[in-house]
Amino acid sequence: MMQTTQVLILGAGAAGLMCAISAGQRKRQVIILDHASRAGNKIRISGGGRCNFTNYFIEPEAYLSNNPHFCKSALSRYTQWDFIALMEKHGLPFHEKEAGQLFSDRKAQAIVDMLLAEIQEVGAQLSLETEIYTVIKTKENQSPYRFQVTTSQGDYLCESLVVATGGLSMPALGASALGYQIAQEFGLSLVPQRAALVPFTLHPQDKAFSASLAGLSINIRAHTAEKSFQGALLFTHRGLSGPAILQISSYWQAGVPVSIHLMPDIDVLKALKEARQAHPKWELKTWLAQYWPQRLAKAWCDYQNWPASVTLSELSNLKLESYAQTIQAWVPNIAGTEGYRTAEVTLGGIDTDELSSKSMQAKQVEGLYFIGEVVDVSGHLGGFNFQWAWSSAWAAGEYV
């Protein structure tokens, strides 16, 4: 069976659904294909089931890409306010959690339902459980159709082909490398991919320390030479997680040291000196427990081999300086990351040099578009990745 359509979208995730809406509103005939049994799988589980769908403070600086300017055009044409207006149109309540992060008050499924309702309204057709086998350019005589896509549900001819198959994170949810493969088949270059917004695993000695505290969370500031993030660190059985760690993971590669300030809101040396004056009989772990849970205070002293029974009055300025330094700049021995199994996003992807930032169309292949996470644009934690999916999808939808 051969079906024809003006616009064929591969992937019914955040970007694919939004592109169908945008193109459908222009009265383009749209078909969306996805191999999963449900649309918007990642939306459904995102933000702890409440979908952090955008951020009040969308800014290009919150995105990583080989070309940091590429995202600007799309982000400025379909903004966070446009998505907020869509939520309001459907009467979906939401709230700001912190730092501009907007979450649905209802289950994230409500956002998927909202997008599906919009798709129905514009008459786009959705075909799930559809395996995509091949994508080829049509012959001249098949004009106006530029691409032929062979699938488990038959063949499709389309004028515009939009690749919205996402990144590699969470294969259990349907992630695959299809988008990268299509790009390569059409001669587009890729920026190497790696897992990001992902927990760290630690080498054995640090791992044992972390595992002994699994489930405990404290406020920290994590630094690389390039970037720093303040927020929660969560100790896990295998290493470190929590928002500040996930954020810094996007700037980490093997060999890059990550330094962690474990008391980011205080001047540690000054506080130690004041405590020595005010409470000379205190042991170090008693002082630490003023700022941290007792369990961490004790585990830290054991892990750092700090003397157990020495009182603050017995410690020289030099000693206090070295203890303060350890707290301010802990450099854990990072073994790696938890990888795509748990990563929220994939860094790298279709090289933005290959695409028009206005339309997301491949510069060398007329009618071929790439949107969302498959492109070399990845956001910080906090709703930035969905906003990129909405914005890049909307931009393509205006041209397909």
Q: State which residue has the least CB distance to ligand FDA.
A: 13
Cβ-based nearer residue to ligand FDA, 16 or 239: 16
Q: How far is the CB of 160 from ligand FDA (least distance, A)?
A: 17
Instruction: Work out the number of other CB atoms within 10 angstroms of the CB of residue 277.
Output: 10
Neighbouring-strand partners of residue 234: 217, 241
**SS3 state of residue 323:** helix
Cis amide leading into 68 (omega within 30): no
Q: Among residues 324 and 389, whose Cβ is nearest to ligand FDA?
A: 389
- In the complex with ligand FDA, which residue's Cβ is closer, 45 or 266? 45
Is the CB of 100 or the CB of 293 nearer to ligand FDA? 100
In the complex, the smallest distance separating the C-beta of residue 118 from ligand FDA, rounded to whole angstroms, is: 15
Measured from the CB of residue 117, what is the shortest distance to ligand FDA in angstroms?
Answer: 18
Minimum distance from residue 44 beta carbon to ligand FDA (Å): 10
Which strands form 101-104's sheet, in the order they lie side by side?
Answer: 52-55, 101-104, 94-96
Residues that bind ligand FDA (CB under 6 A): 10-16, 34-36, 41-42, 45-47, 51-52, 132, 164-166, 169-170, 174-176, 178, 344-345, 372-374, 383-386, 389
The nearer residue to ligand FDA, 47 or 367, going by C-beta atoms, is: 47
Query: Minimum Å distance from CB 156 to ligand FDA?
Result: 13
Task: Could you list the beta-strand ranges (E) of the chain.
Answer: 2-10, 30-33, 52-55, 63-64, 94-96, 101-104, 125-127, 132-137, 147-151, 154-163, 190-196, 200-202, 217-223, 228-235, 239-241, 259-261, 334-337, 345-350, 368-370, 378-379
Nearer to ligand FDA by C-beta: 63 or 386?
A: 386
Q: At which residue do the structure tokens 């488990």 appear?
A: 152
Q: How far is the CB of 63 from ligand FDA (least distance, A)?
A: 11
The secondary structure of 344-375 as a DSSP string is SEEEEEE-GGGB-TTT-BBSSSTTEEE-GGGB
